[in-house]
Amino acid sequence: MNRDIHEQAERLILQEQVEGISTADRERLERHLEGCERCARVAAATGQALQSLRATSVPLPPALAARAQLRVYLRAQQRRESGLTGWAPWLWCGLSWALGLASAPYVWAVFRWLGESAGLPGPVWKMGVALWWVVPALLTVAVLVIERRGREESGERYDDVR
């Protein structure tokens, strides 16, 4: 028998133990196992290993579930108290964009007047217009990153269950 048949048999052995196989695949596997001692040993060893794993219990601290529930409850309460629920940042973001779009013609006119008055080339004062909107966004991102690092350093994490 060629190597592909043995690899396919081993794949079917594993698949049968974990998720099940079709009747046709099971019959084909059984016929192969009757004639191949090597694959029959693999099937027996796989079955014994999985049976040993299923029989093994892992002791967990008795209050683990209660502590996890308490952490989730406290985190939810903290988010409610902070006032920034899921919709608030999106509301502020939308308001910011609306005001930015409404003020765009005025900002453009002011920067053009300042640029022409100072004798600046067009690309320079146009870069000023772009920075007018980019800098506040970058500052906001910086504040959020600093705030997140502060929470992580203070031990406020989701995976910290003691």
Per-residue pLDDT band at 157 (split at 50, 70, 90): low
Q: How far apart are CA 19 and CA 28, in angstroms?
A: 17
Rg of the Cα atoms in the chain: 32
Q: Could you identify the residue written with the tokens 């939308």? A: 94
91 residue type, one letter: L
Q: How far apart are CA 83 and CA 80, in angstroms?
A: 6
The whole-model pTM stands at 0.37
Residue 161 has pLDDT above 60, yes or no: no
Greater confidence (96 vs 114) lies with 114
3-state secondary structure the chain: CCHHHHHHHHHHHHHHHHCCCCHHHHHHHHHHHHHCHHHHHHHHHHHHHHHHHHHCCCCCCCCHHHHHHHHHHHHHHHHHHHCCCCCHHHHHHHHHHHHHHHHHHHHHHHHHHHHHHHCCCHHHHHHHHHHHHHHHHHHHHHHHHHHHHHHHHCCCCCCCCC
88-93: average pLDDT:
74
**pLDDT (0 to 100) of residue 155:** 62
